Amino acid sequence: MAIAAGKMGVIVVDVQGDFTTWKEGSLAVNGTDKAFVEKVQKATETLSGEGYLIFGTQDWHPADHISFYTNHPGKKAFEVIKIGERTQVLWPPHCRQGTENARVLVDNNLFMAIVKKGKDPRYDSYSGFQDDGGAKTEMDQILKRNGIQKLVIYGIATDYCVKATAIDAADAGYKVTVIEGLCKGVAPETSAKALKEMEAKGIMILKELDLQEIGR
Ligand SMILES: [Zn+2]
């Protein structure tokens, strides 16, 4: 068994049908074809084999979710609105609870736990740790219960849910590495900015999975 066992965890962020071109998702992110998902699958198998505990996040919205533009009469997809102090991007309806394209595409048997987020119709939740209303998910508890101190994070999308999850993980005291080559972003500019913001938080960014580098 590798040295990593029991201390190192992985969070696979939102690798769900609706975010992929492969499954013709309603909010498909560029570059998320079958080959990309297979690459994520392979990397996750490798890490699991090395003794990393695998966790996931799953966007899981009710039909009346605040992030769906269809719930805001007169608004269009990708418009940005203010809700009190919060900024909300309006998305096409996606990852509706119990639908085929809300499923996590990486082999579910690899995961110790998959944390659902965005269940509250009033708040969006890019982060796997908490929603925009500040309500915590069970992620931190589950990681702590498993003795996790270091996290490798990747998935969809670099500039939204990967960024928010990685930054909250760093803020919660985990040592975080993000694998850029196992992420895809909504837009190139915001993705580049997201990588810089994560680096500024002390998060290590690696181009590709490198077991030696992440084991340090
Ligand atoms: Zn969502």
The alpha carbon of 62 and the centre of ligand 1 are apart by a number of angstroms equal to: 10
Average pLDDT of span 68-73? 97
User: How many angstroms separate the CA atoms of 183 and 176, rounded?
Assistant: 15
Residue 4 clears pLDDT 70, i.e. is over it: no
Residue 88 clears pLDDT 90, i.e. is over it: yes
Residue 2 clears pLDDT 70, i.e. is over it: no
Q: Which residues are catalytic?
A: 14, 117, 161
The alpha carbon of 116 and the centre of ligand 1 are apart by a number of angstroms equal to: 11
Chain segment 137-175, per-residue pLDDT in tens:
999 999 999 999 999 999 999 999 999 999 999 999 999
Confirm if 197 and 170 have CB atoms less than 8 A apart: no
Average pLDDT of span 27-38? 98
Q: pLDDT grade, residue 215 (50/70/90)?
A: confident
The alpha carbon of 102 and the centre of ligand 1 are apart by a number of angstroms equal to: 10
